[in-house]
Amino acid sequence: MPRPRRRLASTCVGTVTAGLLATGVALAAPDEDRPEGSTASDTAMGAYLDYGPRGVGRIPYLSRWLGGREIRVGHTYLPGDQWAGIEGKVSFLESWAAWRRADDDRIFVLNVPMQERNEGRVPDHQVARLIRAGAQGHYDRHFTRLAERLVSLGVPDTVIVLGWEMNGITYTHRCGPDPENWKRYWKRVVRAMRAVPGQEFKFDFAPNRGKDAIGWTECYPGDDVVDIIGMDSYDQGPGRDFDDQIEQPYGLQQHVDFAKAHGKQISYPEWGLFRRGDNPEYVRRMLQWIEQQKPLYHTITDYCPHGVWQCKENPRSTKVFRDALRPEVPGPVVPTPVVPTPVVPTPVVPTPVIPTPVVPTPAVPTPVAPTPDVPIPTPQVPTPQVPTPQVPTPQVPTPQVPTPQVPTPEVPTPEIPKPSPASPSPEIPKPSPVPPSPEVPLPTPSPSPLVPTPVSPSPVTPSPEIPVPATPSPVVPTPQPTPPKPLPQPQQPPVTNPKQWCVPLNFGEWLSGLVGKQSVCLKLDWSKDSGYWPF
């Protein structure tokens, strides 16, 4: 299809590019805001920015304009005016090779003409003669030298877009004048380049969308010499809208189906605006189509009238392109405030220690009878029956210790109002002043009182730490033990006995002085059963 003379007319392109740079387009900074709902495809993308070092130098600026999106595809063209250019004897290949080697994830795409004077408007009969010469192997050496050049530069995996848009009428390497020999010529070129040691080239067969001069399927050279099936698709006829571009013969849908049938990946080496001016709907639909089909790569032709970054003629399309391809910027992470749960301490009530009362054991004295030092003659007197005193066992009363009534402390629960959306922190009511805790006297003997543990209030809503009201200590009454009853004293035997007579003994003054005064006591039982009852 017709194209602006963009590849050979380098002077014109350089002039336009310099003007764009002077306006500051290439240095445009990304906006901070990103519209909602926009998504960026993960497919490798790029743009044709210039054929030489200036195109390489603009890639980071395009990435910045797209909000930091990685530009993974570098795309340029070899000049087709002479065989020396087709052999790669151009200095700008070194700049592209250095860019490609800087990152293993990058793709270097190189459009390679199949004939010299490629844009010289050569008539069909001459094109047919050149095609036959190529099919006979007359130009194999040129492509062998190109392969050697690329391998030596360290880019042996270059994607070669060989004889692009062959179904049109623009280029001398077109297919229409002799399709069968054209396919033979393609195969010779591919085999010559694959014969170079170290090469890993991928060959991309990329016709124009639509039939153009000839249906592009008639030019397909075969699965053994094609790795990728691409398509160049600009916003122009045939087709009134994007749906027509999809459904038309040799259109976008047939391209996808044909590649699938042949087990090949697809690509879009060239696409952009053209005949219909600033058309944001076309850009939107084309990006959606690319996202759905997942091609190996795509590159937009970015200069006027096709472009969206270096061309100011398409502001609406520019916005759509930029919004769709900028990477999604995650929103700020708002940390969830962590509100500590107030810890209400449990009041510690000391357990009163009640000592066990010690009850003294009563001591019963044993009567001691004096023993005389001088033997005293014992008269034959019946032995009196001395009753053994019965000492009662004292009853030790158990002290009745009253159980203290411990009042349950009432812990005031702070009322926490629900926070309103407008205020960042809820207002916490201050608790009422707490009276000082009364002193708990050291309890005297009593059982351990059961003191209930106050219930800790749980906050209803997250809030800062709530001051805990002091819990009044319970007043424990001091138990008073019952004093013990006085112990009974043992009964002493009576001193006198009405039935006993004592007769003093007189041993003389001298003997009485030695042994002391003595007496003999006689007990007489005058009861009826004693035998001495005289009556």
Per-residue HEC secondary structure of 328-380 comes to CCCCCCCCCCCCCCCCCCCCCCCCCCCCCCCCCCCCCCCCCCCCCCCCCCCCC
| 524: number of Cβ within 10 Å | 13
Tokens of 287: 């990006």
Tell me which residue of 15, 140, 172, 6 sits closest to 76, measured CA to CA.
Answer: 6
In-domain check, residue 476: no
In-domain check, residue 199: yes
* Mean predicted lDDT score pLDDT of the chain: 75
pTM for this entry: 0.58
In-domain check, residue 242: yes
Residues 6+ apart with CB under 8 A from 522: 379, 381, 500, 501, 502, 503
Q: What is the mean pLDDT of residues 499-521?
A: 68
Q: What is the mean pLDDT of residues 320-325?
A: 96
Cα dist from 45 to 168, 287, 500, whole Å: 25, 11, 145
pLDDT reported for residue 514? 75
Asked if 471 contacts 454 with a C-beta cutoff of 8 angstroms, the reply is: yes
pLDDT at 470 over 70: no
Length of the chain, in residues: 535
- How far is CA 175 from its chain centroid? 57
459, 465, 467, 473: CA torsion to nearest 10:
60
Q: What ranges in 51-178 are assigned the alpha helix state H?
A: 53-65, 83-86, 92-101, 124-135, 140-152
User: What is the tens place of the pLDDT at every residue in 129-148?
Assistant: 999 999 999 999 999 999 99
In-domain check, residue 114: yes
Residue 174 structural domain = 10-325
pLDDT reported for residue 24? 39
pLDDT at 490 over 90: no
In-domain check, residue 430: no
Tell me which residue of 299, 331, 328 sits closest to 69, measured CA to CA.
Answer: 328
Cα distance between the two ends of the chain: 177
User: What is the tens place of the pLDDT at every residue in 15-40?
Assistant: 434 444 433 333 333 343 444 434 45
Residue of 510 and 239 predicted with greater confidence? 239
Residue of 380 and 85 predicted with greater confidence? 85
By the 10 Å C-beta count (0-12 exposed, 13-18 middle, 19+ buried), 337 is classed as exposed
Residues 6+ apart with CB under 8 A from 492: none
Tokens of 427: 């207002």
pLDDT at 467 over 80: no
What is the rounded CA–CA span in Å between residue 393 and residue 445?
26
pLDDT reported for residue 42? 79
Looking at residue 178, what DSSP letter applies?
A: -
pLDDT band at 439; cut points 50, 70, 90: very low
In-domain check, residue 15: yes
User: What is the tens place of the pLDDT at every residue in 380-430?
Assistant: 645 545 455 454 454 544 545 444 454 444 444 444 444 444 343 434 434
* Amino acid, single-letter form, for residue 502: C
With residue 204 as reference, give the H or E element that holds it.
strand 202-205
Tokens of 519: 């007496």
In-domain check, residue 446: no
Residue of 474 and 355 predicted with greater confidence? 355
Q: Percent of the chain at pLDDT above 90?
A: 52
Residue appearing with tokens 């080496």: 269
Q: How many folded domains does the chain comprise?
A: 1
CATH number of the domain residue 86 falls in: 3.20.20.80
In-domain check, residue 171: yes
pLDDT band at 345; cut points 50, 70, 90: low
Is cis: bond before 305, omega within 30 of 0? yes
Residue of 515 and 490 predicted with greater confidence? 515
